[in-house]
């Protein structure tokens, strides 16, 4: 597998994982989102929710307040960069890997394993590119 394919794979894993998270999570919190829409969208979530408002706060932090949307955009940028033949620096891979290790250490039963995988592929794609161009 060449460096472009390795890097592209990292981007697609980020896109698919993020898209799944953004689509599936609202269904698991449907009653909270129904409450948000019925009460009005503006200023519905608070940083210090009461026990009865906790489901709405959780719904927010699991969907629009999560890192899924930025990770989806990052994945799209990585795929675009790979398709253009641009280098994705290994530093981005190391950052995503560190984030994933932290997430998995806090919640091992999460899909946080995806982050070290994405990061590792970006690192491998950049290292292979450096070897090829040297």
Q: In whole angstroms, give the CA distance from residue 63 to residue 55.
A: 12
How many CB atoms are closer than 10 A to CB 34? 11
| Domains: count for the chain | 1
Q: Please determine, for residue 132, whether its predicted confidence score (pLDDT) is greater than 80.
A: no
Structure tokens at 131: 């070897």
Q: Which domain holds residue 53?
A: 3-133
Residue 129, pLDDT score: 61
Rounded to 5°, angle at Cα 30 from 76 and 99: 40
Please list, in sequence order, all residues whose beta carbon lies within 8 angstroms of the beta carbon of residue 94, skipping any fewer than 6 positions away: 119, 123
pTM of the predicted protein model = 0.83
With beta carbons less than 8 A apart as the criterion, state whether 126 and 7 touch. yes
pLDDT (mean) for 48-76: 90
Q: What percent of the chain has pLDDT over 70?
A: 94
């Amino acid at each position: 597998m060449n460096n472009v394919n390795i890097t592209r794979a990292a981007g697609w894993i980020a896109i698919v994982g993020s898209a799944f998270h953004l689509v599936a999570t609202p269904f698991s919190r449907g009653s909270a989102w129904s409450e948000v829409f019925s009460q009005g969208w503006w200023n519905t979530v608070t940083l210090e929710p009461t026990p009865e408002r906790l489901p709405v706060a959780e719904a927010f932090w699991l969907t629009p307040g999560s890192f899924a949307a930025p990770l989806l955009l990052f994945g799209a940028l990585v795929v675009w960069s790979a398709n253009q033949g641009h280098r994705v620096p290994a530093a981005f891979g190391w950052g995503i890997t560190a984030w994933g290790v932290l997430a998995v250490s806090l919640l091992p039963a999460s899909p946080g394993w995806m982050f070290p995988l994405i990061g590792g592929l970006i690192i491998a794609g950049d290292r292979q590119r450096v070897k090829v161009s040297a």
